[in-house]
Structure 1
C-alpha cells in the first residue's frame, strides 16, 4: 500500500509539467532602410541617406597590345581632354606606315602616267581601271597603317583625374587591358535608395524637379541634383530601388570619393495618393 502512495508525487509532478506551456521565442527584428519624415509647413519631406561619389569613370585601354614605352600620368594626376596618357612602342607600326606611304606614292604616280596616256587614247579603259584599283588599294592600306599607328597612343577623352593607373612603364599589355581609370571632376553622382511605392509615383525623369542634396562634409550648404539613372529592378531584401542623381561638383568638394550625405524629396511634388502612402508608410 505504501508503494502506491509513493507514486502519487511523481504523477502530480508529471501532470503539472504537461500543463506548462513552452516558452515563446521572440522573432528577431527585420532590418530595413530608414528614412526621416519632416513636416515643412503644409508639405512633407522624405530625407534619404545618400552616398556622393565622383562622376562617370572610364577604364581606358589600348586597342592593340604591345609594350608601354611611356606612361605620362600617375594616380591622382589631373587630366585635360586630349592629353596623351601613354604610348606603346610604335617602331613596327611606324615602319608599316613608311612602307605603305611609299607604295601609295608609286601607285599614284603610275595612275597619273596612265591617265595621261588615256587622254591620248593610247591605252584601253580596262587598263585604266586596273591602275585606278591599284591606287585605291594602296591608299586604303596606308589609311589602315596610319590608324594602327594612332592606336599606339592613348589620349584622354575628357578632362578629369586619374583614379588609378594599374600598369607601369615598359610593361607589356594586352589589347583592352586597363591602363588608366579616368574619373570626371566636374560632376558628382548621388546614390540613394527609395521604397517601391515612392519610386513608382516619383517622376524621376522630370527635368523640372530637382531634389535637394546635402553633403555631410559641407553641412551649411545645400545643392540641387537631377535624375541620371536607376537600377533595373528593386532590391529583394529591402524592397527599394537605387536611384542615381547627378550634380555639378562644388569647388571645395573633397577629392576622396564615397562622401556621405542626404537627398530630400518633397512629397508635395508627387500625386496625392502616393504622397499619403509614402508618409503613412514611414510612420
Structure 2
C-alpha cells in the first residue's frame, strides 16, 4: 500500500509537469515571415511587356551556288567564331580551279618566251641586225603576255576563293536560331542556310505608348524582371527609340540593353520592363511595393497583416492597391513607411494573435 501511494504521487507529478510543459509550448509566440516595408524610391511611370533578343542577328549563307552536302550544327546549338557549320559539294569548284591553274601556267610560259625574245631583239637592234618595227612588235607581244599572265593569276585567285567558299563558317560566336536549308538541297548564292544570334550584348524589346515619349530618351534607366528568372531584377538602359510609330499598334519600338544579363538570360524569354520617373524622389504618398503573397482580404476589400510594434500582435489592415503585377502589388494607401508586414502564410493567421517576426530565409524570393 505504501509503494502504491508513492507511485500514484509520482505519476500525478509527472502528468502535472507534462500539462505545464504543454501549456507553456502553446503560449509561445508563433513565428511568421515578416519584413519592414519602405516606400518606393521613385514613382513608376509604366510597366510594359517585353522580350529578350540578341542585339545582332545575321543570316549565314554561301557566297556561291551549289549542292549542300553537310550540316554540322542544329537549331539551338552554340557555335564559336570560325567554326565550320556547313559544306557545299566542292567538285565543280575544284575542277574550275584546276583549269585556272593550267591557264596560269600556260600564261607564265608564254610570258617567259616573250621576255627571252625581247632580250634577243634588243641585242640585235643595237647591232642594227633587225628593223626597229620588229623590235616594237616584240615589245608589244611581251606587254600582251604580261597582261595575260596577270589576268590568269587573278582568275586563279578568284576560283581559289570560290573553292574556299564551299565551306561555311560562323563569323561570330553565338546561337543558331533558325535552319533554312536541308542537306541535299541546291542553294543559291546568298540564300540563308542558318540564322545566328550573336552572343554577348542582350537587348530587351518593348513597345512604348505615345504618352510616355516625353518622359523617355536614349539612356533612360529601367528595371527588368523575367518570369523565368525568379527573385532577381536587372537594370537596363534605353539604347534606341523608334522615331516613327508602328502603323498597326501606334506604339514606338524601344530597345533596351541589359547591363549584366548573365547566363540564365536566354533569347526569347518574356520580360516585364518598369520605367521609373528619373526626376522623382520618395514622397509621403509614394506607393509601397510588396510580393503578391502578402495580399489578404477583409470581406471584398484588399488587406494585409501588420505586426504591431508594441505587443507584436497581428492587425488586419485594409489597403488601397495601385497596381497588380505578376509577382508584386503596389499599395498606394493604408500602409506607413517602416511598418512590419507579413509576407507569407497570410491565410493561416488570425487577428490579435501574438507572433514573432522572422526574416525570409531567401530574401530574393520576396524581392519586389
Structure richer in helix, relative to its length: 1
1:225 to 1:110, Cα distance in 2 relative to 1, 3 A: farther
Question: How large is the Cα RMSD of the aligned pairs?
Answer: 2.7
Alignment partners' CA distance in 1, 2:187 and 2:250: 43
Matched with 1:126 is: 140
Task: String of CA shifts for 1:261-280, please: whole Å, max 9, x gaps.
Answer: 224343318xxxxxxxxxxx
Task: String of CA shifts for 1:90-132, please: whole Å, max 9, x gaps.
Answer: 1011111111112213322432443355455255432221111
Whether the 8 Å contact between 1:59 and 1:179 is mirrored in structure 2 is: yes
Give me the TM-score of the superposition, normalised by structure 1. Answer: 0.69
Matched with 2:227 is: 216
Whether the 8 Å contact between 2:115 and 2:142 is mirrored in structure 1 is: yes
1:238 to 1:131, Cα distance in 2 relative to 1, 3 A: closer
Alignment partners' CA distance in 2, 1:246 and 1:222: 14
Choose the corresponding residue for 2:245, options 224, 234, 247: 234
1:239 to 1:92, Cα distance in 2 relative to 1, 3 A: closer
Matched with 1:85 is: 85
TM-superposed CA distance for 1:156, in Å, is 0.8
Matched with 1:251 is: 263
Which has the larger Rg? 2
1:237 to 1:74, Cα distance in 2 relative to 1, 3 A: closer
Q: Which runs of 5+ in 1 are unaligned?
A: 1-38, 270-281
Whether the 8 Å contact between 2:53 and 2:205 is mirrored in structure 1 is: no
TM-superposed CA distance for 1:136, in Å, is 1.0
Alignment partners' CA distance in 2, 1:104 and 1:237: 60
1:235 to 1:106, Cα distance in 2 relative to 1, 3 A: closer
Matched with 2:277 is: 266
SS class of match (1:176) = coil
TM-superposed CA distance for 1:79, in Å, is 0.6
Q: Which runs of 5+ in 2 are unaligned?
A: 1-38, 124-134, 281-322, 324-368
Aligned residues: 227
User: Map of 1:31-50 to 2, 5 A cutoff?
Assistant: 40-41=40-41, 43-50=42-49
Whether the 8 Å contact between 1:161 and 1:183 is mirrored in structure 2 is: yes
Alignment partners' CA distance in 2, 1:82 and 1:158: 7
Whether the 8 Å contact between 2:79 and 2:173 is mirrored in structure 1 is: yes
Task: String of CA shifts for 1:23-46, please: whole Å, max 9, x gaps.
Answer: xxxxxxxxxxxxxxxx744x4332
1:62 to 1:232, Cα distance in 2 relative to 1, 3 A: farther
Task: String of CA shifts for 1:242-276, please: whole Å, max 9, x gaps.
Answer: 1012235411224x61322224343318xxxxxxx
Alignment partners' CA distance in 2, 1:87 and 1:131: 37
Matched with 2:107 is: 107
